[in-house]
Amino acid sequence: MTDVQTLSASHPAPGVLSRIFRTEQDGAPNDGHEQVVLCHDRASGLKAIIAIHSTALGPALGGTRFFPYVSEEAALEDALNLSRGMSYKNALAGLDLGGGKAVIIGDPNTAKNEAMLRAYGRFVQSLRGRYVTACDVGTYVQDMDVVARECDYVTGRSPEQGGAGDSSVLTAFGVFQGMRASAQASWGQPTLRGRRVGVAGVGKVGHYLVGHLVADGATVVITDVSEAAVNRVRAAYPDVEVVADTAALLQARLDVYAPCALGGALDDHTVGALGAAGTAVVCGAANNQLAHPGVEKDLAGRGILYAPDYLVNSGGVIQVADEFESQHKGGYNFDRAKTKATKIFDTTLEIFTRATADGVPPAVAADRLAEKRMREISALRSVLLPGARQG
């Protein structure tokens, strides 16, 4: 599940059609995408891609990323990878939802406008519920409120509009649960008290994660390219240490490294640096952290416990799934969603146990469990329901 940021000459991307239609990659099933929609509204300037990876478990739910991609091809690559990750995330979270993702090409700080968001909403609406959208990098609750003016299949709206609000809250909570499970597996206690935790990226999710870590008694070291994001954390938690960049963070004698920015954070160089510094655990909020196949084996070989990203960062999708599924059942309930997100602790421990038993890295064990659920539940469509449309 490689993020577009990691593409290089050493790991080239295949052709466009083969990336969409492929049915197997590195031995993993379900890699082909069901549907990819190119959306262009000339009047507003909208250029968007909606990628539906799988609806085996239900409607494809995933956020909308607004990002200044270097090319349309890079945007497509990101949409394909992110949507595949959502299939695995939703499956492992126990949700009756498939995987999808959308990207809007452009700088969200300068290109975003009401007409563009509403045009995008109409394209989502045209899919009639096959894809359900939410916030992601570059999009916010107020954006989803605008999209929802043209579309019924929107989550992550403001509470004033009947939505769940900022999903970063439960995303951070879920990552913290995964980190607690990692501590249990590594040191015998489900706490970060006395541990040194480095957080790379303290924007949407990272600053909430810092709050959980400080409350738990961890020593926290942070870095972010945004000075404003760093200053916000400093103001709330004055004892947090700040380093200049990720390179400095990797050398900061960490027990736990938490990548919470864009994907591709775990490449060969980074894993080597973590191993040399004696870091024991990697557990963070970023999507698609593994820069290329084989990184998960390198982590395991160096004795670094990796908590699979799409497992531990699923708190946000659990939140928006509750919002979506409860629209006709009394509305969103934060406590109910938080209770579901608490189970990330147990699922993470289960993945570690399966990985040890099978002699594979945790990332492989997580993929296997997600694929098993998608395969078994989708097979239920073979059971005839009289009077109901099959499929």
Point out the residues that are catalytic. Answer: 101
Rounded Cα gap, residues 372 and 287, in angstroms: 21
The annotation status of 201 as a binding-site residue, yes or no, is: yes
Q: What are phi and psi of 210, to 5 degrees?
A: -55, -40
Rounded Cα gap, residues 275 and 251, in angstroms: 10
Helix (H) or strand (E) holding 39: strand 35-41
Q: Strand locations in 117-247, DSSP E?
A: 131-132, 196-200, 219-223, 241-242
Rounded Cα gap, residues 269 and 115, in angstroms: 43
Helix (H) or strand (E) holding 268: helix 268-277
The annotation status of 281 as a binding-site residue, yes or no, is: no
Residue 47 contacts residue 123 (beta carbons within 8 Å): no
The annotation status of 204 as a binding-site residue, yes or no, is: yes
How many other CB atoms sit within 10 Å of the CB of residue 22? 14
How many other CB atoms sit within 10 Å of the CB of residue 246? 20
The annotation status of 203 as a binding-site residue, yes or no, is: yes
Q: Output the known binding site for NAD(+).
A: 201-206
Residues making up the annotated binding site are 201-206
